[in-house]
Structure 1
Amino acid sequence: MSFITNLFSPSDNPESLGAKFRNQRQKDFEDLFFLNFSKDDPIRVLDVGGAAYFWNTSRLLSLPNIEIILLNLDQEEIDHPKFRSVVGDATNMSEFSDNSFDLVFSNSVIEHLYTWENQQKMAKEIIRVGKKHFIQTPNRYFPVEAHYAIPFAQYAPKPLLHFFLTKTKLSRLQKWDAKDAQQYLDEIRLLDQEEMQRLFPNSKMYLEKFMGMIKSISAHNLS
C-alpha cells in the first residue's frame, strides 16, 4: 500500500514519483547552472513562486556569494541566510529593474495563472528581469494530469472533474476540499511545448520524458 501511496503522492513527499522526477530535473538544471556561473561570483537568483524547501539539497547553497529571492503572493518563512522572501506578482515585477537577476527560476508555477494573457505577462517579466532563466511546467499532453494524478483529467469538463475530486478518491487516493478543488480548476491552464516556445522564443526546451512521452517542459537559455 505504501508503494501505491508514494506513487500518487504530491511531489513534496520525498518518496513520491513526482519528487524523483523533480530531483533528476534539479540535478540536470544545476549541471547547466555550473556551466554558466563561477562558484566564486556574486549570484542573484529569483525563484518565482518558490519555496525554501525546494532548495534544501541544492548544490547552489554551497556557493559563498549566492542570494535566492523567493517571490510569492504571500510572505514565506525563511530560516536560512542565503534566502530572502518578497511579496509580489509574477505578471508584474516592476519593483525589479531590467537584468537585475543573474537567473530567474520557476518550477510548476506558470500554469497557475488562469489565462494565456497572464502567462505571456509572466514570461515577458522573466525575460526582462533575468539574464538567464529556467522555467518548468507540466506538459498539457502527458496522459496523467500532474496536479490531480488522474489520467486525461485535463480533457474532462470542469464540473465532472470537480465531482471526481470532491466525491471520490481517484485523485491521490483522497477527497479534495470543495473550495480547494474549485480554486485549482479555475487557476490551472496547462501549457504544451509549442506554447512554451512562443512564451520563450529564444530559449531551448529541456524535455523530461517518461516511457517516451514528454512529462514536463522547461524553457531555458543556459548554455
Structure 2
Amino acid sequence: MGHNRLRYRLVDSDRSWSARQRRRRSDWLVRTFPDIGDMHVVDLGGRLGTWQRATVRPARVTVVNLEQPPAVVPEWAHVEQADACDLPEHVTVGTYDLVFSNSVLEHLGGHERRLRFAAAARSLADRHWVQTPYRYFPIEPHWIAPGMQFLPVRLRTALAQRWPLGHKPTRSHEAAIHQVLWTELLDRSQMRHYFPDSRLLVERVAGLPKSLIAVRS
C-alpha cells in the first residue's frame, strides 16, 4: 500500500510530481512560442492527450505515432499511424509551423534512427521543440529509480520487474528487458550532434539538469 500511495503521488495523480513537471514544461513551451495558439504543430511520437491537456492548444495538431489512432479524434487534430523516423511522403509535404517532440528521442532504437528522426524534425518546419530526459540526472525518469540508467542491462531488467514506481509496471522478464533496451538516455554532446543549429535549453530540478530541449525559434 505504501508503494501504491508513493506511485500515485509521483506518477499517476493529476497533481503528481510528474504531472507538475509536464505542466511546467508546457508553460515554458508557450513562453517560447507565444503564437502557438495560431500554429499547425506536428507532434512526432506523441499522443493526442498531450494537446487535450495543454495550457494553450494549437489551432491544428498532427500527431505521428506507431500506435493505432484513437477511435475519436477532435476536428482540430489529425492522428497519423506512421514511423517518425521514416515518414510517409504525404506527411513530409505537409505545411507545419512547429515540430514538437516530448520524451521520444530516447526510445527510437539507436543512433542511426535518432539521426533520421532529428533530420525529420529539422526539415518539417522552421521551428522545433524536441525534449529528452538528461542521462546524468540522478533519477532515471521512466522508473523513478535512483541511478538505474548506469546499471548493467541484467540489473536494470531485474529492477524494472520489481521496482514499483515505473510508468509501465511489468513482471515479465521479456517485457522488462524490452523496455530497458528501448530506453537510451542522451547527454548534451549527443543532442548538439543531432541538432547542431538549435539552442539547447536545460530543464532543471533542484538546480540539477533533468532534461534537454533542442529549440529553434
TM-score grouping bracket, smaller chain normalisation = 0.7 to 0.9
Contact 2:64–2:79 under 8 Å retained in 1: yes
The corresponding residue for 2:16 is 16
Q: TM-score normalized by structure 2?
A: 0.88
Quick one: distance in 2 between partners of 1:164 and 1:141? 19
The corresponding residue for 2:171 is 177
Quote the offset at 1:130 in angstroms.
1.7
Task: Confirm whether residue 107 of structure 1 aligns to residue 109 of structure 2.
Answer: no
The corresponding residue for 1:91 is 85
| Cα distance, 1:99–1:173 mapped onto 2, change above 3 Å | closer
Gaps of 5+ in 2: none
Quick one: distance in 1 between partners of 2:97 and 2:167? 41
Quick one: distance in 2 between partners of 1:7 and 1:79? 30
Q: TM-score normalized by structure 1?
A: 0.86
Quick one: distance in 2 between partners of 1:124 and 1:16? 34
Quote the offset at 1:148 in angstroms.
1.1
Contact 2:65–2:83 under 8 Å retained in 1: yes
Letter paired with 2:69: E
| Cα distance, 1:112–1:56 mapped onto 2, change above 3 Å | same
Instruction: State how 1:23-172 maps to structure 2 within 5 Å.
Output: 23-34=23-34, 37=35, 41=38, 43-61=39-57, 66-77=59-70, 78-95=72-89, 96-97=91-92, 100-166=95-161, 168-169=162-163, 171-172=165-166
The corresponding residue for 2:206 is 211
Gaps of 5+ in 1: none
Comparing 79-88 with 20-29, greater Cα deviation is found at 79-88
Quick one: distance in 2 between partners of 1:191 and 1:99? 29
Secondary structure of the 2:92 match is: coil
Q: What's the RMSD between the two structures over aligned residues?
A: 2.3
Instruction: For residues 117-147 of structure 1, give each alpha carbon's deviation from its aligned partner in whole angstroms, at most 9, with x where no partner exists.
Output: 1111100111111221100100000000011
Quick one: distance in 1 between partners of 2:62 and 2:36? 19
Contact 2:42–2:64 under 8 Å retained in 1: yes
Instruction: For residues 56-100 of structure 1, give each alpha carbon's deviation from its aligned partner in whole angstroms, at most 9, with x where no partner exists.
Output: 232443x6xx21011011232143211111011111224233673
| Cα distance, 1:172–1:115 mapped onto 2, change above 3 Å | closer
Count of aligned pairs between the two proteins: 212
Secondary structure of the 1:101 match is: coil
Quick one: distance in 2 between partners of 1:135 and 1:107? 6
Secondary structure of the 2:85 match is: coil
